[in-house]
């Protein structure tokens, strides 16, 4: 069904009546035109190999083979997530052939079942070489901190009435503090992510926790409503690293075969915080008063500072392809990590280079008159691998300093690429240094880790709004998380004031329902989505398209629309309290499906930009939905009633989810369009 030339079985002379024997090697084989449609997905008119597509069920070799990497441009900026692409592939070679050429003896687990990915270096300071218990303790410590931070959004859900009585303001005004907190979350992630990329995650974690403690004390002591509003904004800024950095930390200290389970633990703790912290805060509000919620938060976060300081060291380690040392008289400060590969006894020092090669490509992307583009892919099996060449060779008389090279020797953009992305001294130093002592690992500051421009790294997540897949994922993710925030702003009004006259503790107990629904949604989303993907991949000749994930839009739409409409309707009709509470759980189930699907779709579509995409999604959720809706939703609920309000919200959810249909049809073409435009690397 998919026409992929590199995997096509060549005809033998016996099969074609000898015609193949008379054809010269340079004569191209006459091919049937590629199919326009594949399972409802429009193919690109020029190529079947689009970045993001993967040979998922290859019978030729037991591995997943990414497609279209010869079209994908190499990164020119640092990222919060480790490099996701391996060796380079020549555009003239098929993937099968290049796969057979990979003869590197790769490191495996102790039982030999898994190839370690990424490959750890032969350095005791590589975080992947840390003891298992050390990495797991770091995960648990970080996960506990994330659970506390994740529960700060609906922290006052059960105490809105008490806060309103304290400051003599309306409940909508109190609900606005939640929206402004989310504004701080969104803006904080834009600041925290580039800062962590350039200076490391440890100083960002520690600095944010200190600010978290101070802002919690500020909230507890706030003498006025205005003071509480500002304190909540600052608290949002302090908590923002919880959303944008832990996934990158987990990727830096765990191998690929270990990450799914560890990410599940992190997700469960984060989800538990969003749904269980309001329950705990309800108990505190009823017994001690709402101010004690922030006092106890400050105490617990102080314990989190202890955990992060002593058990979560800096996890940065540069795994990007390294440039080779020049052959001229000038000496480069770059260090080549290839020397740590295992060698067979008596074998020459040869291995497939981990490279980002600047090579001329005969692809639809190539345009006359423009400089050669840098692409990522696989190794050319015919190229010389007797020495680790990480970039194309420069003339022997070329200067090694990019700033001293003239325009005829090297493009200034390429010079910036090398000097900014690959001039990383932290890893160079600790790669050959003795093992860090525990005391040395406690150092909160390691200086600048990456030579890149802070403003440039900060702007990149916003450029992704021009990428249709990221735009769709941002919409779905913002709706999925945003509706739970909207509900947290309405539970006190519905359960305490309008329908059921609940106490703060009873309102808190309502959150058991969304917790159960969220856990079930998270567990079901991955399994069902993977089953759908494998089924469609078999129907598609073994080729996986990220758009297959979009079929999950159907259960997402059904559960969220039914849940939203049913919640508002049953609350206004004053049905038994269990009825809207069950609908609350159904909403949480659908929202968990939505958030998981949005993240997996955007990561599968643009793995190279996964770090920036997560910031984009969180910014959309916090600012474009959480903050904006808090400006008018509570007053809308009071004026129109829960029935009309939630029926309208359910209709809005249905209308937005209908965009999944064109996204499924045109998604593959949109991915190739973004590759050709290469917007991320132009800024």
pLDDT digits (tens, 9 = 90+) for 120-167: 888 899 999 999 999 999 999 999 999 999 999 989 988 999 999 999
In the prediction, which pLDDT does 217 show? 97
Read off the pLDDT band of 257 (50, 70, 90). Answer: confident
**Band of residue 69 on the pLDDT scale cut at 50, 70, 90:** low
Residues in CB range of 617: below 8 A, 6 or more apart = 470, 473, 474, 477, 478, 598, 599, 602
pLDDT at 521 over 80: yes
396 pLDDT more than 60? no
pLDDT for res 450: 83
pLDDT on residue 394: 35
Min mean pLDDT across 44-53, 93-102, 193-202, 296-305 is at: 93-102
Which residue in this structure is represented by tokens 């600052």? 234
Is 674:467 a contact under the CB 8 Å cutoff? yes
User: What's the rounded Cα separation, in Å, for the pair 335 and 315?
Assistant: 19
Lowest mean pLDDT among 39-48, 314-323, 430-439, 608-617: 314-323
Range with lowest mean pLDDT among 88-102, 510-524, 530-544, 640-654: 88-102
Cα(57)–Cα(537) distance, integer angstroms: 7
Q: Are 602 and 465 in contact (CB under 8 A)?
A: no
47-51, 172-176, 325-329, 567-571: least confident range: 325-329
List the one residue out of 618, 607, 587 whose CA is nearest residue 473.
618
The model's pLDDT over 552-563, given as tens digits with 9 standing for 90+, comes to: 999 999 999 999
65, 67, 189, 595 from 53: Cα distances, Å: 9, 5, 30, 21
Please tell me which residue, 267 or 82, carries the higher pLDDT value: 267
pLDDT of residue 664: 95
Neighbours of 257 (CB within 10 A): 13
Return the number of other C-beta atoms located less than 10 Å from residue 445's C-beta: 11
The lowest-confidence range among 197-201, 265-269, 410-414, 553-557 is 410-414
Higher pLDDT, 576 or 340: 576
Res 608: pLDDT? 84
Question: What pLDDT is attached to residue 37?
Answer: 77
Mean pLDDT, the chain, integer? 77
Asked whether the bond before 118 is cis by omega within 30 degrees of 0, the reply is yes
The mean pLDDT of 32-46, rounded to a whole number, is 77
Nearest to 256 by CA among 125, 109, 137: 109
Which residues are CB-contacts of 403 (< 8 A; sequence separation ≥ 6)?
A: 415, 419
314 contacts 305 by C-beta, under 8 angstroms: no
Q: Does 357 have pLDDT greater than 60?
A: no
Which has the closest alpha carbon to 6: 84, 120, 90? 90
Average pLDDT over residues 399-418: 38
Q: What are 54's strand-pairing partners?
A: 66, 544
Does position 28 have pLDDT exceeding 70, yes or no? no
Q: Is the pLDDT of residue 311 over 90?
A: yes
> What is the number of residues in the chain?
683
Distance between CA atoms of residues 320 and 562, nearest Å: 47
Cβ neighbours, 10 Å, residue 301 = 24
Residues 209, 202 contacting (CB under 8 angstroms): no
Q: pLDDT higher for 526 or 366? A: 526
Give the whole-number percent of the chain exceeding pLDDT 90.
42
Question: What gap in Å lies between CA 518 and CA 608, rounded to an integer?
Answer: 29
User: Pick from 355, 415, 343, 345: which is nearest to 384 by CA?
Assistant: 355
- The DSSP call for residue 133 is H
For 370-417, give the DSSP string: SPPPBB-----TTS--SS---SPPPPTTS-S-GGGS-TTTS-HHHHHI
pLDDT value at residue 101: 40
- Cβ–Cβ under 8 Å, residues 202 and 444: yes
Give the residue among 305, 275, 177 at the shortest CA–CA distance from 234. Answer: 177
Nearest partner of 422 among 332, 340, 350, judged by Cα: 332
> Could you tell me where the beta strands, DSSP code E, fall in 123-189?
none
The 10s digit of each residue's pLDDT in 431-455 is 888 999 999 999 998 888 888 889 9
Q: 630-650: buried (b, 16+ CB within 10 Å) or exposed (e) per residue?
A: beebbeebbeeebbebbbebb
Reported as a single tens digit per residue, the pLDDT across 632-683 is 998 999 899 999 999 999 999 999 999 999 999 999 999 999 999 888 887 7
Q: If residue 38 lies in a helix (H) or strand (E), which one and from where to where?
A: strand 37-38
* Least confident among 196-210, 516-530, 557-571: 516-530
Report the largest interatomic distance among the alpha carbons of the chain, rounded to a whole angstrom. 93
Q: And the tokens for 594?
A: 């939505």
Give the C-alpha distances (Å, rounded to integers) separating 42 from 2, 147, 162, 416, 534.
11, 42, 56, 37, 19
Label each residue of 503-565 as H, E or C.
CHHHHHHCCHHHHHHHHHHHHHHHHHHHHHHHHHHHHCCCEECHHHHHHHHHHHHHHHHHHHH
DSSP secondary structure letters along 290-321: THHHHHHHHHHHHHHHHHHHHH--------S-
Q: How many CB atoms neighbour CB 27 within 10 A?
A: 9
Residue intervals of the chain classified under CATH 1.20.1250.20 are 1-22+35-73+453-683, 120-320
Q: What's the CA gap between 240 and 187, in Å, rounded? A: 8
Query: What phi, psi does 42 have (nearest 5°)?
Result: -70, 130
How far does Cα 414 stand from its chain's mean position?
27
b/e burial code for range 137-162 (CB count within 10 A of at least 16 → b): ebbbbbbbbbbbbbbbbbbbbbbbbb
How far out from the chain centre does Cα 586 lie? 26
Domain at 1-22+35-73+453-683: CATH code: 1.20.1250.20
Q: What pLDDT score was predicted for residue 297? A: 96
85 HSE (CA, 13 A, CB side): 30
Cα-based distances in Å from 453 to 73, 493, 611: 20, 47, 16
Q: What is the C-alpha separation between 355 and 109, in angstroms, rounded?
A: 25
Does residue 347 register a pLDDT over 70? no
- What sign has the CA pseudo-torsion 316, 317, 323, 324? positive
Q: Does domain 120-320 have CATH number 3.40.630.10?
A: no
Q: Is the pLDDT of residue 581 over 90?
A: yes
pLDDT band for position 39 (cuts 50, 70, 90) = confident
Characterize 432-444 residue by residue with b for buried, 16 or more Cβ atoms within 10 angstroms of its Cβ, and e for exposed: eeeeeeeeebeee
pLDDT (mean) for 67-93: 56
More confident residue, 663 or 340: 663
Q: What's the pLDDT score for residue 95?
A: 40
Q: So what's the pLDDT on residue 73?
A: 66
Instruction: Write the CA distances from 360 to 322, 370, 413, integer angstroms.
Output: 20, 11, 17
């Amino acid at each position: 069904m998919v026409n992929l030339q590199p995997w096509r079985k060549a005809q033998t002379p016996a099969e074609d009546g000898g015609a193949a024997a008379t054809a010269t090697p340079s004569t191209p084989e006459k091919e049937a035109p590629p199919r326009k449609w594949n399972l409802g997905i429009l193919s690109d008119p020029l190529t079947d190999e689009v970045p993001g597509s993967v040979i998922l069920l290859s019978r030729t070799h037991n591995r997943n083979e990414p497609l279209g990497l010869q079209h994908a441009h190499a990164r020119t900026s640092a990222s919060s997530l480790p490099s996701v692409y391996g060796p380079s592939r020549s555009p003239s070679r098929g993937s099968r052939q290049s796969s057979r050429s990979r003869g590197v003896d790769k490191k495996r687990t102790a039982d030999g079942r898994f190839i370690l990915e990424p490959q750890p270096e032969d350095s005791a300071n590589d975080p992947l070489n840390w003891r298992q218990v050390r990495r797991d303790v770091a995960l648990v410590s970080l996960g506990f901190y994330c659970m506390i931070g994740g529960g700060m959004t609906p922290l006052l859900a059960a105490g809105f009435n008490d806060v309103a009585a304290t400051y003599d303001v309306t409940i909508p005004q109190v609900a606005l503090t939640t929206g402004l907190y989310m504004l701080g979350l969104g803006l904080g992630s834009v600041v925290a992510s580039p800062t962590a990329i350039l200076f490391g995650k440890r100083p960002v974690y520690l600095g944010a926790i200190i600010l978290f403690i101070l802002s919690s004390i500020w909230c507890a002591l706030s003498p006025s409503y205005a003071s509480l509003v500002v304190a909540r904004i600052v608290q949002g800024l302090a908590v923002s690293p919880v959303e944008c950095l832990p996934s990158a930390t987990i990727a830096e200290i765990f191998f690929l075969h270990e990450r799914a389970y560890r990410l599940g633990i992190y997700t469960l703790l984060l989800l538990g915080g969003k749904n269980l912290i309001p329950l705990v805060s309800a108990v505190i509000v009823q017994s001690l008063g709402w101010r004690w919620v922030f006092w106890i938060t400050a105490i617990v976060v102080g314990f989190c500072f202890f955990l992060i300081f002593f058990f979560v060291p800096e996890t940065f380690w540069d795994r990007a392809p390294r440039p080779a040392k020049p052959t001229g008289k000038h000496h480069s400060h770059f260090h080549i990590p290839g020397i740590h590969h295992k060698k067979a006894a008596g074998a020459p020092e040869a291995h497939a280079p981990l490279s980002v090669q600047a090579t001329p490509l005969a692809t639809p992307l190539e345009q006359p008159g423009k400089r050669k583009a840098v692409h990522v892919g696989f190794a050319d099996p015919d190229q010389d691998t007797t020495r680790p060449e990480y970039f194309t060779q420069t003339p022997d008389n070329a200067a090694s300093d990019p700033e001293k090279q003239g325009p005829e020797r090297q493009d200034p953009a390429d010079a910036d690429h090398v000097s900014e992305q690959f001039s990383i001294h932290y890893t160079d130093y600790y790669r050959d240094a003795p093992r860090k002592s525990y005391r040395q690992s406690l150092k909160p500051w390691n200086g600048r880790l990456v030579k890149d421009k802070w403003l440039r790294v900060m702007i990149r997540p916003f450029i992704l709004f021009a990428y249709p897949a990221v735009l769709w994922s941002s919409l779905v993710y913002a709706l999925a998380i945003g509706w739970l925030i909207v509900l947290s702003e309405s539970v006190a009004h519905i359960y305490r004031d309008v329908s059921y006259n609940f106490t703060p503790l009873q309102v808190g107990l309502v959150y058991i329902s969304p917790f159960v629904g969220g856990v079930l949604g998270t567990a079901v989303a991955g399994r069902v989505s993977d089953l759908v993907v494998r089924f469609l991949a078999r129907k598609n000749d073994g080729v996986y398209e990220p758009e297959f994930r979009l079929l999950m839009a159907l259960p997402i739409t059904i559960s969220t629309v039914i849940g939203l409409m049913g919640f508002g309707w049953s609350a206004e009709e004053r049905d038994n309290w269990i009825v809207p509470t069950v609908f609350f759980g159904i909403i949480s189930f659908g929202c968990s499906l939505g958030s998981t699907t949005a993240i997996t779709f955007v990561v599968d579509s643009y793995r190279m930009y996964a770090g920036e995409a997560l910031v984009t999604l969180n910014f959309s959720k916090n600012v474009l939905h959480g903050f904006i809706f808090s400006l008018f939703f509570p007053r809308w609920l009071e004026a129109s009633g829960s029935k009309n309000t939630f029926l309208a919200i359910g209709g809005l959810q249905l209308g937005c989810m209908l965009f999944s249909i064109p996204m499924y049809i045109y998604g593959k073409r949109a991915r190739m369009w973004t590759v050709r435009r290469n917007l991320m690397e132009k800024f």
